[in-house]
Amino acid sequence: MPTDFPAAVVQTETLHAWEAGGADSPEALTAWVNARLSAHEAALARLLAVEGPRTTDNSLRLYDEAIEQLSLAGAQAGILNSVAADKAVRDQAQLEAQRVAMAASALSLNRQVYDALTAIGLDGASPGTRHFVERTLLSYRLAGVDKDQATRDRLQALHEKATMYALEFSRNIQEGAKTIEATTAELEGLPEDYRARHQPDAEGRVILSTDPPDMQPVMTFAASAALRERMFLAYNTRAYPANQQILLDLLATRQEIAGILGFRSWADLATADQMMASAANVRAFLARLDEASREGAAREHAEILGFARKRQPGLATIDITSRGYWYEQFRRAAYDFDSQSVRPYFPYAKVQEGVLQTAARLFKVDFRRCSAPTWHPAVSVFEVFEEGQLAGRFYLDMHPRDGKDKWFSATPVTTGVRGRTLPEAALICNFPGGADDDSGLLQYGDVVTFFHEFGHLMHAILGGHTEWAGISGFATEGDFIEVPSQMLEEFFRDEKLLQSFAKHYQTGETLPSNLIQRMKGASAFGRADWVRSQLYYTTLSLDLHDQNPATIDLDDLTRRLYESLQPWIWLEGNRMYASFGHLTGYSSNYYTYAFDKVIALDFFAQFDPDDLLGCEAGERYRKTVLEQGGSKPGREMVRAFLGRDEEFASFSKWLNEEFEEPIPAAGC
């Protein structure tokens, strides 16, 4: 798989927007994007000028070059929109991302290009090439390329409007961070290092932000219900009220697009080219999730509520802001596991080292830190080598800062093409740490998230050596893309693997086996509740896109749906829909996470638990899944690795798994 890329291909002066000054200057960014769009248009012009029979060499290659330039511009404008230190650059990056999306929309409705691709002879073409062409032509038809010119013009205008709404929606979340005030007394229960980093000011106020490193510990550990409520409301209103009307406008625009294309709803359109194929199939899957998780979630809720009432006599119910806190308290009592007890074993630097070591052994590659231009001094860069040859590069931007996107994501940087372009990807995350005086002690859920995002990254790198840019990296169906990330999560559960890097940040002591077992038992409790949470988010994203937007009351729909699926009491003032960022990317298809969890667990079950990193399943998984990129349908990749379609058995086992019986404790 590794390719000896010519230096001119790997290190092109303007391959990266930040090398051209785009991270520091709006004008430089615009000039860089202009160059990419000009190259895109030039490739299309050459494509349309081809005379005689059309072949993959004289036509598909030019189309793919156009796609590659568009992807390059869109990916890097999107990155700078999320991470640039200068707000002027972020603002310009948003405009550039909108320009790129407009060009993509125009391409998807270009009848001349569609006719040229339709005319390509595929006799003797590889299966990957056939899949690329067939999938591309389907996407054109789903865009409306076969409509008359007036209709295509209308569709293009609507797509441009939808892009504008989506970018604005995301930007409001990114820049909507809030702060709350707390007293030192309200920090009771929070980790010692957290309290040390949040000293009161001259007036005795402690200022906390809604960034994940501040927010998540409050929701898990703070004994003060009032503090948890203030943090919850601040976090879930950070893009409200601005995003309320924007979301309604986005939903209406998407529904109009679907109607013009002959679909009942946007949800049907958005699933038409996915593994799931229709909104009806999504609902059937959700019904199965509902049935599988209902009894377990009710049992978990009853245990938590009974425990909380013994600890706090007179407590009638547990609301949405206290769910995480009471789960933590119950796990401490029932499983003798305090999640703070493992944080000292997960300093950020050691976790990063452990994730890289795990991936290197599993995928038979080497990671070498290198010096390369980036968009910010905090970003680190690694090159990926296989058998001594350069196979990819990735960027780690892992800690929060002002103006930076506050979520956790993996994104392509350059789309790899075999023999032409090196695949590059980036992680944009918000883990604790990043300062010289902060070891960045992670919760075990943070470590799982790190493994998850690194699974995406390896998919982008190892799948970035296909013949065509249009099927490179994680360019699979949208509802297969979370399989590699959720599969790699499962490696975190392995004791030997954990102990290879989980070392106490002060003493160097290895994470003890008995603590790992208690952690695994405690973390298994609550899985049914996790499934119910996924069911809620999934159903919300589907319902918002599967009905007439004019009839939607966002507050009423969000609350009613929550109360039908969750036992924890709703809190008035919760506007979570305004900061539900996946509504822009996944739109109606948030079901991807739960659907892909089923596949990922079936995949993981094929690995030898006594030799996770060395068994034959690792090589087979890499060859049949990751290295394919998007060159095969997801269904074919599942069958290639499993020898069959995915089954629900591994998911059911995981859902009902108990590592040990709860330990009787006071208050249980």
Give the DSSP letter string of 409-426: EEEEEE--BTTTB--EEE
Query: Which residue stretches of the chain have pLDDT < 70?
Result: 1-13, 658-668
Dihedral over Cα of 560, 566, 570, 575: its sign: negative
Per-residue pLDDT tens digits for 339-386: 999 999 999 999 999 999 999 999 999 999 999 999 999 999 999 999
What pLDDT is stored for residue 8 in this prediction?
A: 30
Mean of the per-residue pLDDT values of the chain: 95
Cα 356 to Cα 500: distance, rounded to the nearest angstrom: 12
C-alpha to C-alpha distance for 95 and 30, rounded to whole angstroms:
9
Q: Which helix (H) or strand (E) holds 392?
A: strand 389-397
pLDDT for res 657: 84
- The amino acid sitting at 355 is V
Nearest to 378, CA basis, from 394, 395, 397: 397
User: pLDDT, tens digit, for every residue of 126-178?
Assistant: 999 999 999 999 999 999 999 999 999 999 999 999 999 999 999 999 999 99
pLDDT at residue 407, as a whole number: 87
pLDDT at position 545 is 98
For position 5, what pLDDT does the model report?
35
pLDDT digits (tens, 9 = 90+) for 33-74: 999 999 999 999 999 999 999 999 999 999 999 999 999 999
The crossing angle, in degrees rounded to 10, of helices 26-48 and 111-118 is 50
Residue that the structure tokens 């407590």 belong to: 315
pLDDT at 214: 96
Please give the pLDDT value at position 437. Answer: 85
CA atoms lying within 13 Å on the CB side of residue 559: 11
Comparing C-alpha atoms, which of 251, 101, 288, 163 is closest to residue 588?
251
**CA distance linking residue 480 with residue 610, whole number of Å:** 28
Q: Considering only CA atoms, which of 523, 541, 525, 534 is closest in space to residue 290?
A: 534
**Bond prior to 241 in cis (omega within 30° of 0):** yes
Q: Which domains are present in the chain?
A: 7-108+110-143 (1.20.1050), 179-235 (no CATH), 344-524 (3.40.390.10)
Say what the alpha-carbon torsion angle 60, 61, 67, 70 is, to the nearest 10 degrees.
-150
Q: How far is CA 433 from CA 166, 208, 212, 267, 319, in A?
A: 30, 16, 12, 40, 31
Concatenated DSSP letters for 554-571? HHHHHHHHHHHH--SBP-
